[in-house]
Amino acid sequence: MRFASPWLLASLAVLPLLLRQHLAARPTARIRFSSIEPLRRLPRTRAVWTRHALFALRVLAVTLLCLALGRPQTGRRLTEVSTEGVDIVLAIDTSGSMQALDFVAQGRRVTRLDAVRRVVGEFIQGRPGDRLGMVVFGSEAYTQCPLTLDHGILLGFLEQVKVGMAGDATALGSAIAVGTNRLKDLKSKSKVIVLLTDGKSNAGELDPIAAAEAAAALGVKIYTIGAGTDGKAPFQVDTLFGPQLVYRQADLDEETLQKIAEKTGARFFRAQNPETLKAVYDTIDKLEKTDAKVKEYVEYKERFGWLALPALCVLLLEIGLGQTRWRKLP
């Protein structure tokens, strides 16, 4: 409910004036009587306590009329949002090197894949109007989740992503091809692949640069992200003496990732810790914004009668009672 003319509610200021006038009123008629002592000994009846009933009815009627002047209305507000969405495929490397423990979150070491899952989950939740899908790749590449607007399902598939689920090697060309195949026939404002890897292409029959050129010809942009620290990275291995950390040399191919992004008119990013990884996805989020057009429809009905009619009834009741039980002597 709303009031279409709320400034007219200022008329409620007459209520304190009515109350003041009522309290200050003095009876004008008098009756001569020798003594009122016997009257004082009479028990008080209900009529004594209800002597202000007519005034209360008058206050109620005036209040209802003042509220009616504000033009109360009920209705609903409809919002129609039309979006020119962006279709995004999230390609995530699940090769064996993604279990490196060179990322630190909340004071403890986490694997690269664990850090990626958390950041990608936040990215998904921040784009409710876009269709998103997921491709995982290692020695081979396949679609983990097709493009969908149901991001709850996508987040569920993201939680199921594990190191080694697509093999231990890295097939960048295959990942690009699978992602491009998902996007090529769609009609959308922008088609994007966000390709995250921590290694160099060492599997698959398709060259990553050739796959990127094919993607560019189909209007697909590929943002590439190189994850992991420079130099040697720690890995946890089981030994005779229990779990131990061993360090292995990272083999990230930044040059190839830069060429893939350049071929498609996108950008290459380097992420060496969870903070920079989140900043990378935030940057991509800003670069690929969805255009939204909002139309608002308002439909209200006048409810003046809901207050005016009861006010009239109360006023008539006051007049009627004033001529009967609560009639005043002149």
User: What are 243's strand-pairing partners?
Assistant: 238
pLDDT digits (tens, 9 = 90+) for 167-197: 999 999 999 999 999 998 888 778 999 999 9
Q: Which of 76-85, 120-129, 238-247 has the lowest mean pLDDT?
A: 76-85
Residue 259's H or E segment, with its range, is helix 254-263
pLDDT of residue 310: 86
Q: Which domains does the chain have, with CATH numbers?
A: 2-77+301-322 (no CATH), 86-289 (3.40.50.410)
pLDDT of residue 178: 96
**Confidence at 32, pLDDT banded by 50, 70, 90:** low
Q: What is the CA radius of gyration of the chain?
A: 38
pLDDT of residue 42: 64
Question: From CA 117, how far away is CA 119, in angstroms rounded?
Answer: 6
pLDDT of residue 240: 74
Q: Is the pLDDT of residue 329 over 60?
A: no
Average pLDDT, stretch 121-131?
89
Q: Which of 198, 194, 164, 195 is nearest to 95 (CA)?
A: 164
Average pLDDT, stretch 44-71?
76
Q: Which of 146, 137, 141, 144 is nearest to 185 (CA)?
A: 146
Please state, rounded to an integer, the average pLDDT across all residues of the chain: 84
Question: From CA 186, how far away is CA 184, in angstroms rounded?
Answer: 6
pLDDT of residue 297: 63
Sign of the dihedral defined by the CA atoms of residues 271, 273, 278, 283, in that order:
negative
Distances (CA, A) of 170 to 46, 92, 142, 160, 166: 93, 11, 13, 19, 9
Question: From CA 318, how far away is CA 307, in angstroms rounded?
Answer: 17
pLDDT digits (tens, 9 = 90+) for 140-153: 999 999 999 899 99
The two tokens of residue 38 are: 């016997």
Q: 326 and 54 in contact (C-beta within 8 Å)?
A: yes
Q: 80 and 185 in contact (C-beta within 8 Å)?
A: no
Polymer length of the chain: 330
pLDDT digits (tens, 9 = 90+) for 65-118: 888 888 888 877 666 555 567 899 999 999 988 998 888 888 888 999 999 999
- Could you list the beta-strand ranges (E) of 129-286: 131-137, 141-148, 190-197, 220-227, 232-239, 242-249, 268-271
**Higher per-residue pLDDT: 226 or 300:** 226
What pTM was computed for the model? Answer: 0.64
Q: Which residue has the tokens 């009639």?
A: 327
